[in-house]
């Protein structure tokens, strides 16, 4: 089968076309439509495939095989069939999606070139995803200041609105071009030339002037599998992300009764206030635990077997531990505490260093008797029982 003529090579802005069905093929076990020509871009080179409509049917994926034949995978409603070979069909791509891909791919070329120029970082792979785009380079660590400089260099080029040429050079022309990287194919090599900035082999869809990219924005720098990775966005996607972030910042500003640019200072003040409140709350809880433990110590003194059984309503697990820690300073103490909460009855069983009571075994019996859960060691156990559990009565029953 002859390679499919790809109309986007000549005009990346073309969104409507007509083509003739040559055959039905298969891709990963799914039926496909093969045309004599297409404007649909197949997934390749890190760029996602186009979407749209072909012959009145939704195009769910587009792929290309090693022979250069483009496979259109269609959504087939019940009872529908693929257009027959010989049929002339019209197609329309999702123009907004294509436009985003053009900006992202062109932006990637620009940023990859700028990273070489500014940081000596050569691109080893790139991926233009549905939500995140990445460039992986041959350096383990990337200086964020250099990456910011590369970003500024790219956006200055966008402002300059230089022409971008996509063409198939002759072998002689190709040999004279200062390619940023070697071609991945040996025949029909297509080149994208960003005037005065970058020359790279690529079969993707690109803008025809740098100004059409609109904006390139670095979202982050990280390490990935021993390489430096740059996360970025461009074009309409970058604008949309900025608008969303701006809206969120303005909403925060309204909540803090300040301007968007004053939000960081307001957040810092809130963080300091929260730290102070947490410290004050911690001190209050410590005093409450000390007071509660002092009250329970009397029960401990009266108990012939040095046991304390109590329900502290509303106490958190941390509160129970704090009270128990004070009571178990007495070596022979056995502490069986509970707290009634909306999620059930939290229980804590622990012992002093000189006691031999089996905390974990006792909690297991309590859980089996009530349908609760929990576990622990001989010296300490925690769990949760049903909210209606009468803890003092259950302890009395299990201890006989």
Q: Give per-residue pLDDT as tens, 71-83.
A: 999 999 988 899 9
pLDDT of residue 26: 94
- Picking from 207, 213, 210, 181, the residue whose alpha carbon sits closest to that of residue 197 is 210
| Per-residue pLDDT tens over the stretch 287-326 | 988 899 888 988 888 888 899 999 998 888 999 999 999 9
The answer to whether the 98-253 and 277-399 domains have the same CATH topology is no
| Per-residue pLDDT tens over the stretch 97-119 | 999 999 999 999 999 999 999 99
Report yes or no: 59 and 74 within 8 Å, Cβ to Cβ: yes
Q: Give CA separation, 231 vs 45, 102, 106, 123, 175, in Å.
A: 17, 17, 15, 13, 32
Q: Is the pLDDT of residue 60 over 90?
A: yes
Q: At what angle do helices 95-119 and 235-256 cross, to 10 degrees?
A: 90
pTM of the model: 0.74
When pLDDT is cut at 50, 70 and 90, the band that residue 53 belongs to is very high
Q: Give CA separation, 15 vs 19, 40, 274, 310, in Å.
A: 13, 8, 55, 75
- State the average pLDDT for the chain: 94
When pLDDT is cut at 50, 70 and 90, the band that residue 341 belongs to is confident
When pLDDT is cut at 50, 70 and 90, the band that residue 336 belongs to is very high
* Pairing outcome for strands 334-341 and 307-311: parallel
User: Percentage of the chain with pLDDT > 90?
Assistant: 86
Given CATH 3.40.50.720, say whether it is the number of domain 277-399.
Answer: no
pLDDT of residue 185: 83
Under CATH, which architecture does the 5-93 domain have? Beta Barrel (2.40)
Nearest 5°: CA angle at 42, between 34 and 89? 40
Q: Give CA separation, 285 vs 282, 293, 323, in Å.
A: 5, 12, 10
pLDDT of residue 314: 84
The full set of domain ranges for the chain reads: 5-93, 98-253, 277-399
Given CATH 3.90.1150.10, say whether it is the number of domain 98-253.
Answer: no
Per the structure block, which two tokens stand in for 334?
Answer: 């056995």
Contact residues for 96 (Cβ-Cβ < 8 A; gap 6+)? 236
pLDDT of residue 184: 83
279-288 in b/e burial notation, b at 16+ Cβ within 10 A?
eeeeeeeeee
| Per-residue pLDDT tens over the stretch 118-137 | 999 999 999 999 999 999 99
User: Percentage of the chain with pLDDT > 70?
Assistant: 100
pLDDT of residue 79: 84
Per the structure block, which two tokens stand in for 62?
Answer: 């587009």
CA distance 34 to 9: 18
């Amino acid at each position: 089968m002859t390679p499919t003529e790809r109309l986007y090579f000549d005009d990346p802005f073309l969104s409507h076309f007509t083509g003739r069905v040559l055959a039905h093929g298969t891709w990963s076990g799914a039926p496909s439509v093969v045309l004599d020509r297409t404007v649909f871009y197949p997934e390749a080179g890190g760029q996602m495939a186009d979407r749209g409509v072909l012959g009145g049917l939704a195009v769910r994926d587009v792929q290309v095989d090693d022979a250069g034949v483009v496979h259109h995978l269609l959504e087939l409603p019940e009872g529908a069939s693929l257009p027959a070979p010989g049929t002339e069909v019209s197609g329309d791509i999702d123009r907004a999606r294509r436009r985003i891909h053009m900006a992202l791919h062109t932006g990637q070329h620009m940023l990859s070139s700028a990273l070489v120029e500014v940081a000596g970082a050569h691109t080893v792979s790139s991926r233009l995803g549905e939500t995140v785009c990445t460039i992986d380079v041959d350096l383990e660590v990337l200086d964020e200041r250099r990456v910011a400089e590369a970003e500024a260099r790219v956006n200055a080029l966008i402002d300059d609105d230089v022409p971008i040429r996509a063409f198939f050079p002759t072998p002689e022309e190709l040999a004279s071009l200062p390619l940023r990287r070697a071609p991945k194919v040996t025949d029909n090599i297509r080149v994208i030339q960003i005037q005065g900035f970058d020359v790279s082999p690529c079969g993707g869809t690109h803008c025809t002037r740098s100004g059409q990219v609109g904006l390139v924005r670095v979202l982050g720098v990280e390490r990935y599998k021993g390489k430096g990775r740059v996360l970025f966005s461009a074009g309409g996607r970058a604008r949309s992300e900025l608008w969303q972030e701006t809206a969120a910042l303005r909403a925060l500003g309204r909540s803090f009764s300040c301007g968007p640019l004053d939000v960081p200072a307001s957040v810092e003040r809130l963080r300091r206030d929260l730290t102070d409140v947490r410290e004050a709350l911690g001190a209050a809880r410590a005093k409450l635990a000390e007071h509660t433990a002092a009250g329970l110590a009397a029960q401990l003194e009266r108990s012939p077997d040095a046991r304390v059984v109590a329900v502290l309503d509303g106490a958190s697990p941390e509160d129970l531990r704090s009270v128990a820690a004070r009571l178990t300073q007495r070596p022979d103490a056995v502490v069986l505490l509970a707290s009634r909460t909306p999620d059930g009855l939290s229980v804590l069983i622990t012992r002093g260093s000189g006691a031999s009571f089996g905390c974990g075994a006792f909690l297991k019996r309590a859980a089996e008797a009530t349908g609760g859960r929990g576990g622990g060691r001989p010296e300490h156990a925690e769990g949760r029982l049903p909210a209606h559990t009468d803890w003092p009565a259950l302890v009395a029953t299990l201890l006989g």
